[in-house]
Amino acid sequence: MTLGKTIDGKAFAAKLRGRIGEGVTDFVAKAGRKPGLAVVLVGEDPASSVYVRSKGKATVEVGMESYEFKRPATISQEELIELVEELNGDPRVDGILVQLPLPKHLDDAAVIATINPAKDVDGFHVVNAGKLAVGDPSALVPCTPLGCLMLLKDELGDLSGKEAVVIGRSNIVGKPMAALLLGESCTVTIAHSRTQDLASVVHRADIVVAAVGRPEMIKGSWIKPGATVIDVGINRVPAEEEGKSKIVGDVATAEAISHVAGITPVPGGVGPMTIAVLLRNTLVAASAREGLTAPAGL
Ligand code: NAD
């Protein structure tokens, strides 16, 4: 086995977007319309605005319609729910994404619960979480963990019987990631903030997925030689140059790179996959709404 490989999520995501683009062309030919993704942005959070802009651009690039709904941070819970209900009923809209986090006075869970599960392209609705938990293939699966799984399957092929350790138990990343790995017949451990002796838990893994949000907390020495590492973390830290900042992951990559089979870089690993899978989920949702078979190979 060659060690020290960087897993190029950016290149994989570009190929995936190419296949989605072909799927969209096929969809348009059959359905006579474009798939549509509606993104709702509440408030002016700069990071969220950047994400929404890049999602809109990527949506249009694969040939889909992008609808953006910007609302002030002062919007009431009732008004936001009304907007989601309108989108549920809008025939042009196949996917609805409400950019999180919402301002504090709004209830994320209640807003997500209003989204029609068939249009829930983020996969956060309890119906989709439940479908994933019971292995129902019609689940719309959260984009980040599904993107991680695609990278792992591309690297390793069959994952059956492998020891997988997921660090982080959020509903957005950790829990659905663990469910997906279980679905591939891995032996799955979920570690979290209360886990005892995290170093030795991580050391038994063939597959490590780190989704914590703490800069480089997973040390290179914790990782078993030959393991494959997916680093989901996005952490802004001060750069060497004064006054500048940079993004790092949850894994101390410089310490790990020489003895891993593969590791995703940050940036350029999981991040680009998340947006590509959002487009994939929108095409899958659109196909299901039109009674078409979802394109193969996505
Ligand atoms: P979260 O804060 O909801 O969850 C973090 C998890 O880490 C928790 O379950 C907690 O138990 C665990 N944790 C905290 N401290 C720990 C410790 N010391 N030891 C072990 N576990 C610990 O975060 P999230 O939404 O799951 O996101 C995790 C990271 O992934 C963040 O950096 C986030 O920015 C990033 N993220 C990236 C993408 C992407 O597209 N690349 C998408 C989503 C999230």
Q: Which atom from ligand 1 is nearest to the alpha carbon of 269? A: 41
Measured in Å, residue 212 CA sits from the centre of ligand 1 at 3
Preceding peptide of 267 cis, ω within 30°: yes
CA of 59 to the centre of ligand 1 (A): 26
**Does residue 1 surpass a pLDDT of 80?**
no
For atom 14 of ligand 1, the residue with the nearest CA is 193
Tokens 């490590």 found at: 208
| 122 flagged as catalytic | yes
Question: Exposed e or buried b for every residue in 74-97, given b needs 16+ CB within 10 A?
Answer: ebeeeebbebbeebeeeeebbbbb
Q: What stretches of 54-186 adopt beta strand conformation (E)? A: 65-71, 95-98, 163-167
Three-state secondary structure call for residue 3: coil
How far is the C-alpha of 216 from the C-alpha of 124, rounded, in Å?
Answer: 27
pLDDT at 294: 83
Mean pLDDT of 185-205: 98
Q: Is 211 helix (H, G, I), strand (E, B) or coil?
A: coil
Pocket test of ligand 1: the residue of 175, 212, 264 to mutate, having most ligand atoms within 8 Å of its CB, is: 212
Is it the case that residue 297 has pLDDT exceeding 90?
Answer: no
**In angstroms, rounded to a whole number, what is the distance separating the alpha carbons of residues 65 and 59?**
7
C-alpha 234 to ligand 1 mean position (Å): 9
Residues in the chain: 298
- Tokens 């350790």 label which residue? 165
Ligand 1: residues whose CB is within 6 Å? 144, 167-170, 172-174, 191-193, 195, 198, 211-214, 232-235, 270-271, 274
99 is catalytic: yes
User: What element of type H or E holds 238?
Assistant: strand 235-238
Number of neighbours of residue 195 by Cβ within 10 angstroms: 14
Q: Per-residue pLDDT averaged across 49-55, rounded?
A: 93
Pocket test for ligand 1, best of 189, 232, 236, 266 (most atoms within 8 A of CB): 232
Arithmetic mean of pLDDT, 206-210: 99
Mean pLDDT confidence for 6-10: 98
| Three-state DSSP state, 272 | helix
**pLDDT for position 181:** 98
End-to-end CA distance of the chain: 28
Mean pLDDT of all residues belonging to the chain:
97
Question: Averaged over 175-179, what is the pLDDT?
Answer: 98
Determine which residue's CA is closest to atom 19 belonging to ligand 1. Answer: 193
Task: Assess whether the previous peptide bond of 101 is cis (omega < 30° from 0).
Answer: yes
Q: Which residue's alpha carbon is at the smallest distance from atom 22 of ligand 1?
A: 193
Inform me whether the pLDDT recorded for 162 exceeds 80.
yes
Residue 295 has pLDDT above 90, yes or no: no
The pLDDT of residue 296: 83
Selected catalytic residue, list 55, 119, 131, 175: 55
The answer to whether the beta carbons of residues 24 and 283 sit under 8 Å apart is yes
Using most ligand atoms within 8 A of CB, pick from 234, 236, 250, 275 the residue to mutate for ligand 1: 234
| pLDDT tens column, 138-158 | 999 999 999 999 999 999 999
Dihedral sign, Cα of residue 251, residue 17, residue 24, residue 96: positive
Torsion of CA 155, 161, 166, 169, to 10 degrees: 130
Which residues, other chains included, contact 297 with Cβ-Cβ below 8 Å and sequence gap of 6+?
A: 19
Q: How many A from CA of 213 to the centre of ligand 1?
A: 4
**What is the value of pTM for the model shown?**
0.97
User: What pLDDT score was predicted for residue 2?
Assistant: 83
Angle at Cα 62 formed by Cα 60 and Cα 64, nearest 5°? Answer: 55
With 80 as the cut, is the pLDDT of residue 29 above it? yes
Candidate list 34, 99, 131, 162, residue with the active-site label: 99
Catalytic residue among 94, 122, 206, 250: 122
Q: What are 117-138's pLDDT values in tens digits?
A: 999 999 999 999 999 999 999 9
Q: Report the nearest atom of ligand 1 relative to the CA of 195.
A: 20
Gap between the Cα atoms of 179 and 132, Å rounded: 7
